[in-house]
Amino acid sequence: MASDELIRSSAAALINRLALDDITPLDLLDALEPRIALVDPAVNALPTLCFERARDYAKALMKKPMAERGMLRGMPVAIKDLSNVAGVRSTQGSPIFANLIPVASDVIVEHIEAEGGIVYAKSNTPEFGAGANTFNEVFGATLNPYDTRLSAAGSSGGAAVALATGMAWLAQGSDMGGSLRNPASFNNIVGLRPTPGRVAFTRGGRLDSSLGVEGPMARNVEDLALFLDAMSGDDPRDPISKPRPATSFLSAARSGKKPLRVAYSTDLGITPVDPEVVAITRRAAEQWSSEGVIVEEAHPDVHDAYEIFQTIRAEGFAIGMAGLLRDHRAELKPEVIWNVEKGLSLRMEEVAKAESARTALMHRVAQFFERYDCLLCPATIVPPFPVGERYVTSCNGVTFKTYVDWLLIVGVATLAGCPALSLPCGFTKSGLPVGLQMIGPSNGDAGLLASASHLESVLGLDTVTPIMPRIY
């Protein structure tokens, strides 16, 4: 069987073939292993492999009747190195856990494997997922395959690069400040931040936090939707998790349903954006007009998003990582230390003000979606930047104060509890990908996927994935 044919196939097509017994999970693992050996040395996306474990799981799955193999039927899946996989090195990108081999998997991994997902690799991430540039002291930097001098973004950078280069068909990621959406934008793939609670996961720190979520990453919207189906569902170990909906997300993506009215904003009124990114995303949004979709320039009032995001994010770092700062300060990168210390220095008055303001912001955004089906804006404010720069320090003449300031445009959906995805929408003059952020109302994941699938077909981009890394 031609490995190249399998590598270039969509996940949906391969799952159909798995269901027909036309191919086996072992065939897919046999295609992936040499592809990774060929590609990964140039980009460093999948530093930890577990093919022996994967083949053992595949053989056990193949002994079951087809009806008992789950939605994924034995589809290989890459897991981000923030989630534990039993028996596999799981570092969180930190020297503190560089040699950790957990005995139990996280909830999200259990759910994926219960649906027939086969874990074969851990994808690279910045330390504890902090900072939207994927590098760490354990494995080094992950490089952008469109130009290996540039960043893959983060924190799900390894996952995005693996998808873009044919080392994965499906990859799990996580998102607080755009950690799914930024790397999707930089690597020309699709990443979805679902509504909080849509995907159950192992919680640490604050039990009821809705800032961080787990979500799917894929090469196209249909594959994204089918992976969300497999990931979704409630679990007693995650008290805010939601039951799986009766209607599948895949059926929503395949519905052909288009929105009636959408809003486009260059900057949500709160952040500088590179002019070329503005031009590319605006052009993509306006193409919907030819399909009868009403496209208007508008955005909700999110004027205080910066202060809210900085405060609540810092509070989360303090709750989740104060112990690590106390016991392992010398092993933490400076950005993490700053964020934890900022959280520890907060006064209760500041936290109360931010939480109250977040609720008010959420209500304003919900009211905005009474008029609009979808909000469009850039997924990232810049094209891919040099990998040696730890984070974006300025944009369009504005200098940033902190390492997370450049992520504000993705922070709005996080604060409002909305599903949001990055959809490939074009390339810069130098051939670098740009993503369009699509935001839907809270709990509107299905409608957002339907809209994204429709716009994907309207744009008709030749995304040329998977690609071979362009080494400079």
Q: 255 and 450 in contact (C-beta within 8 Å)? A: yes
Q: 108 and 64 in contact (C-beta within 8 Å)? A: no
Res 95: pLDDT: 97
Rounded to a whole number of angstroms, the distance between the first and last alpha carbons of the chain is 33
**Span 209-228, average pLDDT:** 97
Going from the C-alpha of 189 to that of each of 86, 155, 307, 448, the distances in angstroms are 28, 15, 30, 16
Res 174: pLDDT: 97
What is the residue-wise DSSP string for 92-153? TT-GGGTT---SS--HHHHHHHHTT-EEEEEE--SGGG-SSS-EETTTEE-B-TT-TTBB--
Residue 467 included in any domain: no
Domains in the chain, number: 1
Res 325: pLDDT: 95
Residue with tokens 């994924």: 72
Residue-wise pLDDT for 142-201, tens only, equals 999 999 999 999 999 999 999 999 999 999 999 999 999 999 999 999 999 999 999 999
Residue 73 included in any domain: yes
User: Residue 215 sits in a domain of what CATH number?
Assistant: 3.90.1300.10
Residue-wise pLDDT for 295-321, tens only, equals 999 999 999 999 999 999 999 999 999
Residue 472 included in any domain: no
**Span 257-279, average pLDDT:** 98
Residue 353 included in any domain: yes
Residues of the domain holding 430: 3-459
pLDDT at residue 133 is higher than 90: yes
DSSP three-state, residue 356: helix
Going from the C-alpha of 284 to that of each of 257, 391, 423, the distances in angstroms are 18, 27, 10
Q: At what angle do helices 11-19 and 221-231 cross, to 10 degrees?
A: 60
Residue 108 included in any domain: yes
pLDDT at residue 366 is higher than 90: yes
Res 355: pLDDT: 97
Residue-wise pLDDT for 400-409, tens only, equals 999 999 999 9
Residue 470 included in any domain: no
Res 1: pLDDT: 52
Residues 6+ positions from 312 with CB-CB distance below 8 Å? 211, 351, 354, 355, 358, 415
Going from the C-alpha of 295 to that of each of 289, 300, 374, 424, 436, the distances in angstroms are 6, 15, 10, 19, 14
**Predicted confidence band of residue 348 (pLDDT cuts 50, 70, 90):** very high
